[in-house]
Amino acid sequence: MKLLFVTGTDTGAGKTTVTRAVTAALCARGLRVAALKPIETGCSFGPMGLEAADGTLLRAAAGNWLSPGEVTPICFTTPVSPAAAAVAESRPIDLAALAEHIHTVAARADVTLVEGAGGLLVPLDDRTLTADFVARLGARLVVVARDALGTINHTLLTLSEAARRALPVAGVIMSRVSPQPGPDAASNASAIARFGRAPMLGTLEHLPAGPRLAQLAAAAAKLDLDALL
């Protein structure tokens, strides 16, 4: 049972895209993968009730063997941090129950990837940051960084906070969010590898909109996935 927590340098860094791709690639290796988005904010009502967009994508990448409620047990409609959404919707998050749920699912899988909301210091309640919850879970971190200008500072700050808290880091994965790499793209990964003191697992190439699972799996197969196992 391997438990990985996917955090980002911020929201929109590529966590869901990278988690889907890694999940699809590990499934293609014959592993049973659980991909969870345990707390999702900004959910909307669809024909099946409250729907978690990230959770739906992650569930499909793993082959739909978990129920939507197992993938995303906590959905808020308010598009803010989990702590603020819980207050806005008067629904406190039971972090002990959530940790137990994640461990129960992880016991049924070879590898479990848990996508966080935003980055490492996003609050989950008025006493708990995401980093505290990662420590409680005993998960290794995967840091997803947008491969764009500004990422070196954001990524090194995230790695520095992980090191300060002695959180183990399995590695950093960059995601090429724009089709044309900027002049910074060639140097981002090497600067992070040099100063970050964490394994650099590679850059997920830019994918077309609505990528198929085979495309996601092929792109992630070029990353150093062995570091996650």
Tokens 């708990």: give the residue. 128
In the list Mg ion, ligand ADP, none, the entry touching 175 (Cβ below 5 to 8 angstroms by class) is: ligand ADP
Check residue 226 and report its DSSP letter: G
| Of 130, 53, 120, the residue nearest 98 (C-alpha) | 130
Beta carbon nearer to Mg ion, 13 or 213 = 13
* 222 a catalytic residue: no
Identify what 154 binds: ligand ADP, Mg ion, none; CB under 5 to 8 Å per kind.
Answer: none
Distance, in Å, from the CA atom of 226 to the CA atom of 229, rounded to the nearest integer, reads: 5
Among 54, 118, 124, 143, binds Mg ion (CB under 5 A): 54
Q: Which does 70 bind (CB under 5 to 8 A by kind): Mg ion, ligand ADP, none?
A: none
Would you tell me which residues interact with ligand ADP (CB under 6 A)? 8, 11-17, 175-177, 204, 206-207
Q: What is the largest CA-CA distance in the chain?
A: 49
Q: Measured at the alpha carbon of residue 140, what is the angle toward residues 139 and 143, in degrees to the nearest 5?
A: 125
Distance CA 116, CA 7 (A): 5
| One residue of 7, 9, 16, 175 binding Mg ion per CB under 5 A | 16
Residue 188 makes contact with Mg ion by CB under 5 A: no
204 binds, among ligand ADP, Mg ion, none (CB under 5 to 8 A by kind): ligand ADP
Q: Catalytic pick from 2, 15, 37, 222? A: 37
Q: What is the residue whose two structure tokens read 């006493």?
A: 127
**Interatomic CA distance for residues 216 and 207, integer angstroms:** 8
**Residue nearest Mg ion, Cβ-based:** 16
The site for Mg ion (CB under 5 A) is made up of 15-16, 54
Active-site residue set:
37
